[in-house]
Copies of this chain bind each other. A is one copy, B any other.
Amino acid sequence: MAANKLFGGVEAGGTKFVCATGTGTDKLRVSVEIPTRRPESTLREVIDFFRSQEGGTERLAGAAIGSFGPLELNENASNYGHILKTTKPGWEGFDIRGELARALDVPVAIETDVNAAAIGEMNWGAARGLQHCLYVTVGTGIGVGAIVDGKILHGEHHPEMGHTFVPISPDETDAFEGICLYHKSCVEGLASGIAIVSRWGRKLIDIPKNHPAWHLEAQYLAKFLANLTFVLQPQRIIIGGGVMNETLLSMVRELLHSTIASYRPTLTAREAMNDYLVMPELGGRAGVLGAIAIAATARL
């Protein structure tokens, strides 16, 4: 990879855009955060940032966006690279990929935010060397990026795994219905950060650890991850996001092990779970670093 080629990465989120450049897969420069406003003014700042990074012999050769969704990722669709339905003002139907490509005059690839993060962790983080892994984020919402045979998993559309259903726990006594706008009690509706605050009036980390909220959260997540294990059989699951912490991780490992141990010869031992379900190594930078990796390796 020629030293004078710069690649740009954008993690486009609902509250902020994170932008960075790198010279390939080795040398990375992590950079600015831009608050998410309306599309035009937000993209203006993204473009200004990338232009400011060029200089000397270095020129931007390509970029990629890891974006909130849903997105149209079918390259043959007339609205390829557009954001589909969203409640964020101005963003529904916005051609985020095309606008950036035209302004920067370089090829721009696009993926979901969680798929980009999965690529980031596979290249530089907790899934290095693996062929099958999941990147799960439990924050404001719940999202999953999946790598199968070293490639991002897509069907006819990108996955929407945060909207899968899990059993309501028999330990529930408060008749919480879930807060997903579309179907209330999907796992995002029951176990996301917003669901926790809506249900208990505060964040999980602010709730005493002997409160039932912790066990319920661990149960939802364990059933969710068991389901994903039975479908995708990854070698490792990376789980991060604002709701996750070491206490919750331990609880989820315990419950997940009791469910899947008998189904996967390699996961029979309880200790195997410490290597199967892990926290991200790249923290909040997984998405933007993954976008740079996608930009540097995409068939542009």
Contact = CB atoms under 8 A, between A and B. Distances in A.
Contacts of A164: 226-227, 230-231
A259 interface: yes
B233 A165 contact: no
Interface stretch (A22-30, A147-155, A204-212): A147-155
A136 B298 CA distance: 34
Interface stretch (A2-10, A244-252, A262-270): A262-270
A132 B148 contact: no
Interface string A168-200: 100000000000001101000000000000000
A235 B74 CA distance: 13
B228 A231 contact: yes
Interface size class of A (residues with CB under 8 A): 35 or more
A232 B263 CA distance: 21
Contacts of A216: none
A98 interface: no
Contact of A182 (B148, B159, B232, B263): B263
A260 B286 CA distance: 29
B148 A265 contact: no
A155 B259 contact: no
A163 interface: yes
Given A156-B233, A160-B230, A161-B231, 18 more contacts: A132-B155, A148-B155, A154-B233, A157-B233, A157-B264, A157-B265, A157-B266, A158-B233, A159-B230, A159-B231, A159-B232, A160-B263, A165-B167, A165-B226, A168-B168, A182-B262, A183-B259, A231-B231
